[in-house]
Amino acid sequence: MTTVSTSAVPSNAECRATLTDGRTLTITASRRPRANRADVKCTVPNAPAIAEHMQQVVRLARHTEPRLDSRDQLVLSMDITPSATERDWELAAVLADRMVRGLHPARPGMITTAQGHSDAWHTGRVIGAVRTTAPGDGEGTLQITHLGALLGHADPSAAISTVRTWFPLHSGGINDTLGWVEVSVFPLEAPAATEEDSIAVPGLDLTAQQEVKQTLTAARHFDGKGLSRWRSVVRFGQPRFQGGSYQLALVMADRLARGREFVPRGRIIASGCSSAWHAGRVDTVDGREPKLELIFNQVNSGDRVLLPKDWQDHLPHGFAAGLRQKGASLACIDKIGMI
């Protein structure tokens, strides 16, 4: 594999995008020692929401990179502010981030303009175009549908495993439903410096993100084969919830994505948490009765329901038989890996 020498990697890089009103937006990326700071910092004049979105885009696009190096902090900034509804600057942000880290070619005097966006940056898919102007080479435009095309590579989404599981969201109202959590994993060529650095959880507040990262890190300790091998992106269908009863569904989605569990015919629906995921232990959660009713009403044929072992002696009469009649299966467990 060809590696980029440190001296060849620029300390600053620029990529441009054309806004719908005709203005040219320049995104500048600079690299500096991380020093316990965030891996990516973004600034946009008077638009913190756009800066936060740019940070998410860059972090998710990095999911498709086979190597993870978190020693540097990348600072990205826009010189002007796009409208809140514009998104075609996203590809320019991704390219600026890659150019300053030596992952996308940027010769002296080259001007790069990119237009494109994606709803699934963590898979590398994008609809866009990249135009370059360089001394002696004239101008060239490349239409792309995935980030691998920038270097003539295959679609990176082929190497990404994505699994979704469900868990009961109970608040005591008409909005009670089965929420989903989705885990996407991409194999790393070299071990990550820290497991938590390799996990992205867009859309959740910092406290919830940390809980998700700690849960996955501990659960991977249990099976002994998960640490430092994956880039991971965790997404929730409903990002606003309380409590930790989603944890068992999260752990199962992660294990399925990494090939550590058998795939059920239908969905996995799970409720459970743990204070010792590193030991594989599954603990009970609150709200047993309404959650069981919610699961029973929404279960389908082929679904696999996983509940804490402590619930087994408190299941409503006929609950297990009713699930079987609907074509679903049930397991009350106190440990993962034995399902």
126 dihedral zone (left: phi>0; alpha: psi -120 to 50; beta): beta
The pLDDT of residue 329 is: 94
pTM: 0.83
User: Any idea where the domains of the chain sit in the sequence?
Assistant: 12-151, 161-333
What would the mean pLDDT of 245-250 be, rounded to a whole number? 96
Span 115-145, pLDDT tens digits:
999 999 999 999 999 998 877 666 788 999 9
The pLDDT of residue 193 is: 78
More confident residue, 257 or 337: 257
* pLDDT higher than threshold 60 for residue 4: no
Token reading at 308 = 């804490």
Split at pLDDT 50, 70, 90, the class of 241 is confident
**Domain 161-333 maps to which CATH number in 3.30.230.10, 2.60.120.260, 3.30.300.10, 3.40.50.300?**
3.30.230.10
* pLDDT higher than threshold 60 for residue 240: yes
Token reading at 149 = 């095309």
The pLDDT of residue 7 is: 45
Which residues make Cβ contacts (< 8 Å) with residue 48, sequence separation at least 6?
Answer: none
The pLDDT of residue 114 is: 96
Indicate the SS3 state at residue 108: coil
Q: For residues 306 and 248, is the Cβ–Cβ distance under 8 A?
A: yes
The rounded distance, in Å, linking the Cα atoms of 164 and 120 is 15
What would the mean pLDDT of 206-212 be, rounded to a whole number? 93
Token reading at 82 = 């796009």
Kindly give the pairing relationship between strand 199-200 and strand 230-236.
parallel
- Helices 206-223, 247-257: crossing angle, 10 deg rounding: 50
Q: For residues 80 and 23, is the Cβ–Cβ distance under 8 A?
A: yes
The rounded distance, in Å, linking the Cα atoms of 118 and 234 is 17
The mean predicted confidence, pLDDT, of the chain is 90
What would the mean pLDDT of 135-158 be, rounded to a whole number? 85
Q: Which CATH class is domain 12-151?
A: alpha beta
Angle, vertex CA 106, rays to CA 141 and CA 4, nearest 5: 130
More confident residue, 118 or 109: 118
Span 292-329, pLDDT tens digits:
999 999 999 999 999 999 999 999 999 999 999 999 99
Q: Which ranges of the chain does DSSP label H, i.e. alpha helix?
A: 48-61, 90-100, 206-223, 247-257, 288-298, 319-325
* pLDDT higher than threshold 90 for residue 282: yes
The rounded distance, in Å, linking the Cα atoms of 156 and 249 is 26
Give the residue from 287, 217, 208 showing the smallest Cα distance to 245: 287
How many CB atoms are closer than 10 A to CB 317? Answer: 7
The rounded distance, in Å, linking the Cα atoms of 253 and 166 is 9
The pLDDT of residue 203 is: 85
